[in-house]
Amino acid sequence: MTEATMTDPSQAGASTATQPIMQVKDLAVSFDNGSGPRIQAVDGVRMTLYPRQTLAVVGESGCGKSVTAMSSMQLVPRPPGRFDRGEILFRLPADRGGQVVNLLELSESEMRQIRGNEIAMIFQEPMTSLNPVYTVGDQILEAILLHQDVTPKEAQDIAVKAMTDVGIPDPVGRLKAYPHQFSGGMRQRVMIAMALACQPRLLLADEPTTALDVTIQAQILELLKELKATRDMAVMLITHDLGVVAENADVVCVMYAGRVVEFANVYELFDNPMHPYTRGLLESIPKIHERHDRLVTIKEVVEDPEQFKKLPGADQGVTPWWPWNDAPADLASKPGPAGDYTLKLVKPGHWVGVWRTEALKDDSSPPPELDFRVAEHGEHRGDQPVG
């Protein structure tokens, strides 16, 4: 496997000396669009994920959240997809050498050792994500037998354990049931059991609760939180629901149009959103104690020029990047794609995507990384502003 280096967690909110488990560096992924120009799904994305941390990736449909996650599993269909630039660095566990590999450069067979084993993924659609013609047991066992050197009997025990862990009643009997005999919430539990059966160190949860109703959503998220705590696992939680973010995330990464527009820990982000888009997202949430005739839309926020003049150093030309606005006059693009943009550390532990103006020509903000976990601070989430 290819060796690569990972930036040391030095600046910003790093509290301990733990090393990041995954780091996305300047990732750019594009898709062939037949006769038209290639579609740049993700461009210059950077983010870092620490063990036992939940990183929420937030943004609207098509902003590149899923592509980022799928790229780290090499699940982006290629062609039409293509990795243009960047790296996704992943730290292997100590018993497998502990070195850092670039997931984008791994061969298919090397990748198979990672998938399901080191990194597992659960998807938005529990209805269709399970193979309808095999029993749930078959599908969980398949994952276990692929990655663990166990007999089928032992694998069965592991599967039963996994199903018990995710709260499926009568796991032994349910192993023989087919996916269509489960409800949506139970199917998502099965997906999670399958993902966790091999004790992955990173779980990519791609909108795991979008297709479920609210009570089931809460159960599933609670389950993920519990499992993260008991299994020492990092979670990348992809969602567009800020309520889910507030309840579950340690660090939040807001994406728009294939780029990161804001990266901060969950308290900082909700207390002090710095990008107008983030502010728009937060303001559009109805608040239970405030009375509105109509809700604030994101559009109202991002179409207000004043909103773009609030960053520290705004008078020197630090302007939030926003694809629908005209670029500032003193733009000093670097050559290459996404050269007009940089993810600037505007204050300790808080990164915002800004235009690369003259003032930021040689900006060398550290990559976004926060070794931050809510639980370690012992604070109660209920005190925080929640959507």
Partner 1 sequence: MGTYILRRLLLMVPTLIGMTLLVFVLIAASPGGIGAALNVSGGGQMEAGTSKAQQQAYLEDRYGLDAPIVVQYVRWLGRVSPVKFGRRDLVSPTGEVIRSPRPIDPPMHWREFGGALPEVEQAETAFAFDPGATGEDKSRAYRRASQGYTRVRAEYVLARAGYEQTVGEALRAIGLDRHVNRDGTMKPGTPGSAVRAVLDDAEQGPIAEAAFDDAIARYADAIEGRRELKAVFDARPFPPAGVPILPNTLSLAAPDLGMSFARGRPVLTLITDALPNTLLLNLMAIPIIYFIAVPSGMLAATRRGGLFDVLSGGLYVALWSIPIVWACVLMLGFLANKETGLGWFPVTGLNSIEGEGMTWLPSTAPDGTFVRGFVLDTLWHMCLPVAALVYAGFAVLSKQTRAAMLDNFNADYVRTAKAKGVRSRDIVLRHVFRNSLLPIITMFVSIFPAMLGGSVVVERVFSVPGMGNLVIEAIFLRDREVLLANALIIGLVNMLALLLADVLYALADPRVSYD
Positions touching partner 1 (CB under 8 A) are 73, 75, 108, 111-117, 120-121, 123, 125, 128-135, 142-143, 146-147, 178, 180, 191, 194-195
For residue 63, give the nearest of 210, 203, 238 by alpha carbon: 238
Task: Write down the least CB distance from residue 182 to partner 1, Å.
Answer: 12
Q: What are the helix (H) ranges across 7-134? A: 65-72, 108-114
Q: Judge whether 64 and 45 are in contact, CB under 8 Å.
A: yes
Torsion of Cα atoms, 325 then 308 then 54 then 267, to 10°: -160
For residue 312, cis peptide bond before it (omega within 30 degrees of 0): no
Residues 6 or more apart whose Cβ sits within 8 Å of residue 78: none
Q: Which residues pair with 102 in a beta bridge?
A: 89
Task: Write down the least CB distance from residue 94 to partner 1, Å.
Answer: 21
Task: Write down the least CB distance from residue 183 to partner 1, Å.
Answer: 15
Task: Write down the least CB distance from residue 258 to partner 1, Å.
Answer: 21
Task: Write down the least CB distance from residue 56 to partner 1, Å.
Answer: 20
- In the β-sheet with 39-49, what is the strand arrangement from edge to edge? 39-49, 22-31, 81-91, 100-102
> What letter represents residue 10's amino acid?
S
What is the spatial distance between Cα 52 and Cα 37, in angstroms, rounded to a whole number? 40
Of 137 and 353, the one with the shorter C-beta distance to partner 1 is: 137
Which pair of structure tokens corresponds to residue 74?
């090499």
Q: What share of the chain is helix, strand, coil (3-state, %, to 5)?
A: 35, 20, 45
For residue 271, give the nearest of 279, 262, 259, 261 by alpha carbon: 279
Task: Write down the least CB distance from residue 37 to partner 1, Å.
Answer: 21
Of 79 and 382, the one with the shorter C-beta distance to partner 1 is: 79
Task: Write down the least CB distance from residue 133 to partner 1, Å.
Answer: 5
Of 18 and 131, the one with the shorter C-beta distance to partner 1 is: 131
Task: Write down the least CB distance from residue 119 to partner 1, Å.
Answer: 8
Of 6 and 73, the one with the shorter C-beta distance to partner 1 is: 73
DSSP labels, 252-321: EEEEETTEEEEEEEHHHHHHS--SHHHHHHHHTSPPTT---SSPPPHHHHHT-GGGGG-STTGGGT--B-
